[in-house]
């Protein structure tokens, strides 16, 4: 995901790029807001920018070794944590995660449930996940730069996992960045919240959604405008 591929959200994109250029990169950042507005795509584009070997003025280069690996969601310095079932860890479902994210970066939680084949199970992030993350982040960076961990829906962590993550955030390994992507930040452990830089992501503007629908689906301007209005700033709903 490149910044230029994200629908709307120009203010947040510009802020992330300018802070990176200025060297003001918080090691723990929380992207919060309503579902379907592009929080995960933003986190992924930001991670790519941080890992890019030749970042440009407005975006990652898209062609360096790091960018090529991020294209496949297989960069050794990019880690993902997300809710799973059967007391598993994210790596057990990394194939399904990559398929889901590559197919549609604006996927919903219900879409993810289908990939998990969760049935009646409630996906959560288990304590084992934090143990595995500690091991991975203790290793040296593959590319010699940042190590980035994207945690999708940290509010799904159980209490033990939350407490272990808190210790990681309090004493992060060198050049490690945590990007937490949350629909319901009020459900996150307060001590974790207090140690993150919070970025409130707003609903996508009407014109950006309408333009995307016309370009991607060849809709008439009238149909695109109608759907954009009904979606209320939610790209996933519009699609």
| Among 28, 150, 134, 24, CA closest to 81 | 150
Cβ atoms of 4 and 13 closer than 8 Å: no
Over range 57-68, report the average pLDDT: 96
What's the pTM? 0.95
Per-residue pLDDT tens for 130-164?
899 988 998 888 888 999 999 999 999 999 999 99
Burial class (CB in 10 A: 0-12, 13-18, 19+), 26: middle
Residue 223 clears pLDDT 90, i.e. is over it: yes
Q: How far is CA 150 from CA 28, 45, 181, 201, in A?
A: 10, 11, 7, 16
Q: Please state the φ and ψ torsions of residue 157, each to the nearest 5 degrees.
A: -70, 140
Place of tokens 């960045």: 177
Question: What would the DSSP string read from start to end of 101-145?
Answer: HHH-TT--HHHHHHHHT-TT---BB-HHHHHHHHHHHTSPPSSSS
Over range 12-36, report the average pLDDT: 95
Over range 71-89, report the average pLDDT: 95
Residue 32 clears pLDDT 90, i.e. is over it: yes
Whole-number average pLDDT of the chain = 94
Q: What is the token pair recorded at 83?
A: 């809710």
Give all strands (DSSP E) within the chain, no chain letters.
28-32, 78-81, 147-152, 176-182, 197-200
Confidence of residue 213 (pLDDT cuts 50, 70, 90): very high
Confidence of residue 118 (pLDDT cuts 50, 70, 90): confident
């Amino acid at each position: 995901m490149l910044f230029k591929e994200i629908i709307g959200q120009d203010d947040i994109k510009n802020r992330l790029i300018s802070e990176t250029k200025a060297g003001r990169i918080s090691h723990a950042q929380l992207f919060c807001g309503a579902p379907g507005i592009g929080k995960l795509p933003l986190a992924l584009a930001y991670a790519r920018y941080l890992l890019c070997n030749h970042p440009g003025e407005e975006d990652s280069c898209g062609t360096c070794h790091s960018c090529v690996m991020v294209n496949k969601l297989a960069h050794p310095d990019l880690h993902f944590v997300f809710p799973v079932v059967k007391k598993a860890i994210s790596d057990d479902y990394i194939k399904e995660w990559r398929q889901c994210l590559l197919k549609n970066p604006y996927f919903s939680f219900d879409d993810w449930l289908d990939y998990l084949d969760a049935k009646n199970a409630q996906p959560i992030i288990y304590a084992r996940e934090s143990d595995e993350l500690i091991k991975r982040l203790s290793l040296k960076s593959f590319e010699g730069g940042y190590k980035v961990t994207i945690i999708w829906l940290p509010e799904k962590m159980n209490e033990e996992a939350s407490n272990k993550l808190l210790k990681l955030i309090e004493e992060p390994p060198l050049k490690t960045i945590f990007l937490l992507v949350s629909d319901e930040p009020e459900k996150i452990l307060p001590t974790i919240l207090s140690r993150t830089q919070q970025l409130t992501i707003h609903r996508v503007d009407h014109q950006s959604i309408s333009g995307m629908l016309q370009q991607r689906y060849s809709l008439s301007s009238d149909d695109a405008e109608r759907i954009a209005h009904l979606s209320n700033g939610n790209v996933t709903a519009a699609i």
